[in-house]
Amino acid sequence: MHLTRFRLNTARPGARRLLSSPQSLHAAVMGSFPHLLPADGTPQGPRVLWRLDHNARAEVLLYIVSPDHPDLTHLVEQAGWPAAHTSDTPGWHTRPYAPFLDRLTQGDTFAFRLTANPVHHIRRKDGEPTKVTAHITPRHQMDWLLKPERQERAGFRVNEKPQDQRLLPAGLTDQRRPHHGDRYTLAVRDERTLSFGKSRDTRPARHQVKVVTVTYDGHLTITDPQAMRRTLTEGIGRAKAYGCGLMTLATLPTG
């Protein structure tokens, strides 16, 4: 497995075109692997995952987790700084991911980032089939990740804040459903709605696909290292072809 980081040059028209089209960016990512046919990746097991981090207007980073070593030359030429790089510094950074994955142990704590497509299934009327619908409020989006079964399956639990660091009490909503206050070291931000037609579909807007994405930042503790490795290489949730599902970990500062 490999972890790759590439910074897009947002001043270039090619970068802006890619950023405006998750389908085009997905195709560009998949085009980084000479032996991989254009597809969404392997349905089971390690696959190609990617995520965009919009850290600032001029700092947009593309992260890729992949079984094979990528060649991002076409992305550098289209959306990077081609004249600023050499064969020794090609314009992206790739490192082996397996050594980090192999070191994960139960009880390890990390900061994490995840962009995901939090959805649920609803039925508007009795007898109707269920419909996949996006969560649109921060509380429900947070609930999606905090769902105990999801965390257990993914091999981690989101850390709770110490009592003396909580400013908001947990309680009940008007619907008598519990809310978490600021119990967890978890923030939900950067909600985006992606709207596009499938493939080269030019039908009216009512036939467009809509995907709601949000980014989670927080702290977690590993409960099942094998499941955590699977989460980091296979992703979480839906819409992986559109930049969702990739979780990355970072060491927490000490002191």
Instruction: Give tens-digit pLDDT for 1-24.
Output: 999 999 999 999 999 999 988 889
Count Cα atoms within 13 angstroms, Cβ side, for 128.
9
Whole-angstrom Cα distance, residue 193 to residue 213?
A: 6
Higher pLDDT: 212 or 179? It is 212
Record the pTM.
Answer: 0.84
Q: Is the pLDDT of residue 159 over 80?
A: yes
More confident residue, 200 or 162: 162
In the chain, what percentage of residues exceed pLDDT 90? Answer: 57
Task: Kindly compute the dihedral angle of the four CA atoms of residues 132, 133, 139, 143, in this order, to the nearest 10 degrees.
Answer: 0
Give all domains of the chain, ordered by start, each with its CATH number.
Answer: 2-96 (3.30.70.1200), 104-250 (3.30.70.1210)
CA atoms within 13 A on the CB side of 52: 27
Average pLDDT over the chain reads 85
> Which pair of tokens denotes residue 24?
């085009």
pLDDT of residue 138: 83
* Interval 32-52: pLDDT, tens: 998 776 554 444 456 899 999
d(CA 103, CA 4) in angstroms, rounded, equals: 19
For residue 152, name the pLDDT band (cuts at 50, 70, 90).
Answer: very high
Sorting pLDDT into bands at 50, 70 and 90, what band is 121?
A: low
**Distance from C-alpha of 72 to C-alpha of 49, rounded to nearest angstrom:** 15
| Residues linked to residue 170 through DSSP beta bridges, in sequence order | none
Least confident window among 31-40, 168-177, 190-199, 244-253: 168-177
CA 146 to CA 141: how far, in whole Å? 9
Question: Got the DSSP string for 230-246?
Answer: HHHHH-SSS-GGGT-S-
Average pLDDT over residues 142-151: 94
- Taking only the tens place, the pLDDT of each residue in 48-101 is 999 999 998 889 999 999 999 999 999 999 999 988 877 777 889 999 999 999
The predicted structure's pLDDT at residue 1 = 93
